[in-house]
Amino acid sequence: MEIKVINQRKFQLLENHKIILELYYPKWWSNNAEIRYLGKRFEIRAKGFWQTNFIITENHREIGSIKLNWNQNSTIILKTKEHKKLTYHLSQESMWHSKFVVKANESPVLKIHAKSNWKKFYPDLLLNIENDQKTNDYKLLIAISVYLINNRLKSAAAGASIAAVS
């Protein structure tokens, strides 16, 4: 599986060169995103003004949530069809906003590396699935993680540009 970065507002998850999932931001100024996967439409919407809590919906039905803490580490809670809650934690592995890990019960599930590309204004994302169980479908989790990483990289770039100007 690979993550194809079209631009800062559109991402695709490819498997055997076929588009499986698409994450995109419908409006350039909004942090709300949409995911198209398996013929379904998922949305990630901010819950409040400060944008530290988000709701994940599938066809307008809530299936999960995201909570950010002060250093932007994220807790992702997804509900299964059996109404169980699965909890994942996305955190930064390196201090340069380039390596991220998603853990479930303190064991790594996914690792995503944001590799700088000087020819474009946005990084390429490299994906490594750590937990290779065939029973788990991590594709929606990958899209949510890419959403959070993209938002974190955008806010870091905004902070850097403000510091450069002042």
More confident residue, 104 or 159: 104
* Mean local confidence (pLDDT), 4-21: 92
Residue 162 in this model has a pLDDT that exceeds 60: no
Which pLDDT does position 1 carry in this prediction? 86
* Mean local confidence (pLDDT), 21-36: 92
- 125 - beta bridge partners? 114
> For 86, phi and psi rounded to 5 degrees?
-105, 130
Tokens of 149: 């990483």
Cα 74 from Cα 79, distance rounded (Å): 16
Which pLDDT does position 158 carry in this prediction? 62
**pLDDT tens column, 37-68:** 999 999 999 997 888 899 999 999 999 999 99
